[in-house]
Amino acid sequence: MIEIISLLSILVAIIIGIATNINVGFIALVFAFFLGTTLGGLSPNTIIGFWPLNLFFTTVGVTLFFSIAKINGTLENLSTMIIYRSKGSKIKIQIIFFVLSLGLASIGPGNISAAALLLPIGLAIAYQSNMSLLLMSVLIIQGSIAGGLSPIAPNGIVALELARLNNVGELGISIYLLNMISIVIFSTLFFIAMKGYKMNGQKTEVSPPLPFTYEQKLTLLSILVLILWVIFGKAHVGFAGFTLAVGLFFLKAGNQQQAVQHVPWTTILQICGAAVLISVVGELGGIQMMTDFLAKITNGQTAVFIISILSGTMATFASAVGVVMPTLIPTTVALSESLNFAVSPAVLTMTIAVASHMTTMSPLSVMGALALGSLPAGVDEKKLFKKMYIVAFIALAFVSTFLGLLHRLGIIK
């Protein structure tokens, strides 16, 4: 009975959060305290100890650094410069927005920041040039998501840290590569289905970029240093982010107060609060019960397909990084054991991460909501809402089938 109550607390926290617009992480912390102390006999200090400190530290460090790059206009000017190289070709503009969003998200800002930066620009160009708003939205969102699970991007950091915390092991760039390959294939198919190639030869006007300022040049250099330091110097990405942010503050290339305000505290607190509740649920036996249930409805052949559907469906209305991954990744080791390791914990973890991100273009999720909020004045938001919801489930069907096929063929195992 305790196990069921603990599991239901996760669902209730999500429902209350959606219904009241209160941060799910805050609600999760309240539930964690009362469940842990009353049903689990856990002390407050034990519950506080479940706070994912390394994840919190790393995410804050990275997002603080890239807040500076966003505030001082570095990312926007870099984007404008790259888009200008299309020379107004409509087909090139669409492809550039996809590649640009993938690249920006990969180097550190993450999918939400990249999409928030590029969606207003891309949708304005698409509207003025009579290009499909749906296609442009999907290309920017999917490109951002493709880069969002990079090992130095916030969502990628969360996925890798959850894998470590739950004894899945070090996954390196495997999640990032699988996610990117899946999205590139899906986006290419979607581009063809939407007949984006028919824009070939058509032109539109694009604005020239402004010269980079002293502050922006310093920021670009800092981004390069961050990438090289983490990849080749094996630096802790959180410490690297804090160090370079302090350097930019010292050189007057960024405003400290504004940078701190632009850190996505809501998302970070949601992730960490959910992680605390999941840990308490685990102590009460709820995670084991969920694992046993999943083991009953899956086998070695169907596990990847079913986990994909479950993860992707949850992410159409709940945060992939704040709810879906923290809820499901803790089940992967035990689920793999119950299936006699026919599917490895690593594959199950990658499946959860990739499938949950593929469907976040849903208008009820963060990325889809960003697209709707970036629409030019006069556009019928309801039409795009319906279309993006449909595309989210098309993406779900694709990723479930694609990952299931890769597993059956032994490509991921």
- With cut-offs at 50, 70 and 90, classify the pLDDT of residue 317: confident
Mean pLDDT computed over 116-140: 88
Q: Give, to the nearest 10 degrees, the angle between helix 303-315 and helix 286-297.
A: 120
pLDDT at 307 over 90: yes
- DSSP one-letter code for 92: H
pLDDT number for residue 19: 86
Mean pLDDT computed over 243-257: 95
Domain extents in the chain: 2-49+73-212+264-408
Cα(252)–Cα(99) distance, integer angstroms: 31
pLDDT number for residue 278: 86
- With cut-offs at 50, 70 and 90, classify the pLDDT of residue 405: very high
Cα(153)–Cα(176) distance, integer angstroms: 10
Q: Give, to the nearest 10 degrees, the angle between helix 345-358 and helix 154-165.
A: 150
For residue 402, give the nearest of 172, 135, 186 by alpha carbon: 186
Digit-coded pLDDT (tens) for 375-402 = 887 777 788 888 888 999 999 999 999 9
Joined together, the tokens standing for residue 33 give: 């305290």
Specify the 3-state DSSP secondary structure of 274: helix
Q: Which of 120-129, 153-162, 201-210, 261-270 has the lowest mean pLDDT?
A: 201-210
Cα(265)–Cα(278) distance, integer angstroms: 20
Joined together, the tokens standing for residue 113 give: 């920041």
CB neighbour list of residue 130: distance below 8 Å, 6 or more residues apart? none
Q: φ, ψ for residue 376 (rounded to 5)?
A: -65, 155
CB neighbour list of residue 386: distance below 8 Å, 6 or more residues apart? none
pLDDT at 83 over 80: yes
Cα(176)–Cα(269) distance, integer angstroms: 24
What b-and-e string marks burial along 341-365, b requiring 16 or more CB atoms within 10 Å of the CB?
eebbbbbbbbbbbbbbbbbbbbbbb
Answer yes or no: are the C-beta atoms of 305 and 292 closer than 8 Å.
no
Q: Which of 156-170, 196-210, 354-368 has the lowest mean pLDDT?
A: 196-210
Specify the 3-state DSSP secondary structure of 112: helix
CA–CA–CA angle 356, 360, 361 (5° rounding):
145
Answer yes or no: are the C-beta atoms of 195 and 369 closer than 8 Å.
no
pLDDT number for residue 215: 95
Mean pLDDT computed over 214-240: 89
Site of tokens 């649920």:
281
pLDDT number for residue 406: 94
Joined together, the tokens standing for residue 398 give: 């694709």
Mean pLDDT computed over 102-126: 87
Cα(111)–Cα(185) distance, integer angstroms: 18
What b-and-e string marks burial along 47-78, b requiring 16 or more CB atoms within 10 Å of the CB?
beebebeebbbbbbbbbbbbbbbbbbbbbbbb
**Percent of the chain predicted with pLDDT > 90:** 47
pLDDT number for residue 160: 94
Q: φ, ψ for residue 254 (rounded to 5)?
A: -155, 150
| Ramachandran quadrant class, 208 (left: phi over 0; alpha: psi -120 to 50; beta: rest) | beta
pLDDT number for residue 181: 96
List residues bridging with 233 in a β-sheet. none
pLDDT number for residue 399: 96
Mean pLDDT computed over 235-253: 93
pLDDT averaged over the chain?
89
pLDDT number for residue 138: 95
